[in-house]
Chain A
Amino acid sequence: MLLIDCPYCGPRPEIEFAYGGQAHVARPRTPGSVNDQEWADYLYTRVNTRGVHAERWRHARGCGRFFNALRDTTTDHFIAIYKTGTPRPDTSGSSR
């Protein structure tokens, strides 16, 4: 069971959290101005990373808030956890 470090509550077991999918997927500001392909990409197209993946988690059975995390999908280790709205941290220098 993963141990997830909620930026508001501290480390909690995985059962308290709900997965929120890929992070940094921005909704087009004016949906009416994008074409069908771009809208479909926004709705459905997600990366399937082998390695560091930016994703959203919600502390559903805790504070209830969303936050972002960088997780290595090969090891399941979290590399960084940061609040929603802040940019993705640079992790090019980290190993695991």
Chain B
Amino acid sequence: MNRFRTAQGGRIDRSRPINFRFDGRSYQGFAGDTLASALLANGIHLVGRSFKYHRPRGILAAGCEEPNALVGIRRDSARYTPNVRATQVELYEGLDAVSQNRWPSLAFDWGGISGLIAPFIPAGFYYKTFMWPRRAWFALYEPAIRRSAGLGVAPTQPDPDRYSHRYAHCDVLVVGGGAAGLAAALAAADAGARVILCDEQAELGGALLAERSAAVDGRPATSWVSQAVTSLAGRADVTVLTRTTAFGYFPHNLIGLCERITDHLDSPPAHLPRERLWQVRAREVVLCTGAIERPLVFPGNDRPGILLAGAARTYLNRYGVLPGTRVVIATAGDSAYETAIELSQAGVEIAAIADVRAQVSGPWPDAARQAGLPVHLSSTVLGTRGRLRISAVELGISTDTVRPSATVACDALLMSGGYTPSVHLFSQSRGKLAWDAEHRVFVPGRSAEHERSAGACRGLSELSEILPDGARAGAQAAQAAGHEGTPRQYHVTAWS
């Protein structure tokens, strides 16, 4: 189809092409794509403009953590949803997406001029400086400022859709359907507990859906996921909710869930509500909310073409999309090397791997060196070049001071600054965080509710730890709710 789509692989259905529009132009993706992955597959990184200076912004992440790629989704004149993350929009036939906060067009944005006068506008610049002369405020300043600031535009007509709500009770509520969440739900269900498992994505599996190098019980991780999902679906006491976001943790284990029912359909049936609010009262809650990759901080780190390394891996393995053809990787950890190797195997040229650490060893860095990838130690990114897309990375080497070392041409920069556990729900339940000095992250400490965290959201990173941790948490939760059971054992090995 095009050079940014791999020849095979991924969880997309290549026999079902889907046509969609972005800013009025037609493109094609596949069933299983998100808007973001389909745009990347068409080589489009520039999807938005920043709030104040209208800097070009591209797709940074692959999931709910996306900060940049906010678009408007239009169905008809009354059904227009602004500020939706392109990474969370499932592609459907005829999807009509528009970029926001640009005029007259995304590539040529008049508001970008404010970036040129940015040195004269200090942070916190007060717009009422434009008050004088008095009449000019209403006639000139306010309309201009209102047009140039703000992101999406609200729809003008009343919402014609229907929304419903439902109450539910369960023994164990598992939030997050990744490796830990699936293991927890299986363990709790095995013990005989009534289980609700919710995940905000369309497909259960979380990071396992982009996992190619691990095997669970001798099978590829994705095949373990499908088997776990089938096993859960066949049980009367298990309710699996996909496309369902747990948005609130209220006292005494009352959890608010928002289930999106028709947003992914090209022609939603009239009898279905658009969204359903679930108010779940759970005896025990298992939080398996995973972790979010941290970006690195350097000048120009918001240029289109700069992605998180983990996101690039997701786009490659889950959607069959290449982030670019010549890629630089900036990292502070080992996980980006795995991305580098997989991208290199997929035919992407790895121009450089810049690691801030002075010494690096481990299976993935060693494999990267063996594969002949150019690894620069003690190296960091000093800046980036390019206007609507990154064109080069300025690397620096740090000894006592940091000095420029090389300028490397590229069309994508992947960065990885380690992972931060998603403790939002835990904190909202008034749990206290604890500092994990070894991994240098905050992890769940003392719980305030009948709740426990498992997997990556409590600082674990290896699948061989996460699966048993999830199973243990699920069994413990079931036991606390009055159901005895022993968690299954999982055997995690490398898969090649």
Contacts and interface: CB of A to CB of B under 8 A. Distances in A.
Interface stretch (B158-166, B247-255, B359-367, B467-475): B247-255
Interface string A46-85: 0000000000000000000000000000011100000000
A25 interface: no
Interface size class of B (residues with CB under 8 A): under 10
B488 interface: no
A3 B448 contact: no
A1 B448 contact: no
Contacts of B430: 75
Interface residues of A, number: 6
A96 B448 CA distance: 9
A75 B250 CA distance: 12
A2 B252 contact: yes
Contacts, number: 14
Chain A binding surface, main DSSP class: loop
A14 to B, nearest CB: 8
B303 interface: no
Contacts of A1: 250-252, 254
B57 interface: no
Contacts of A3: 252, 254, 281
Interface in A1-34: 1-3
A4 to B, nearest CB: 9
Nearest to A78: B252
B481 to A, nearest CB: 14
Nearest to A1: B254
A29 to B, nearest CB: 39
A66 to B, nearest CB: 21
A76 B448 CA distance: 9
A26 to B, nearest CB: 31
Contacts of B281: 3
A75 B448 contact: yes
Interface of B: 250-252, 254, 281, 430, 448
Interface of A: 1-3, 75-77
10 closest A-B pairs (Cβ-Cβ)? A3-B252, A76-B251, A1-B254, A2-B252, A2-B251, A75-B448, A1-B250, A1-B251, A3-B281, A1-B252
14 contacts: A1-B250, A1-B251, A1-B252, A1-B254, A2-B251, A2-B252, A3-B252, A3-B254, A3-B281, A75-B430, A75-B448, A76-B251, A76-B252, A77-B252
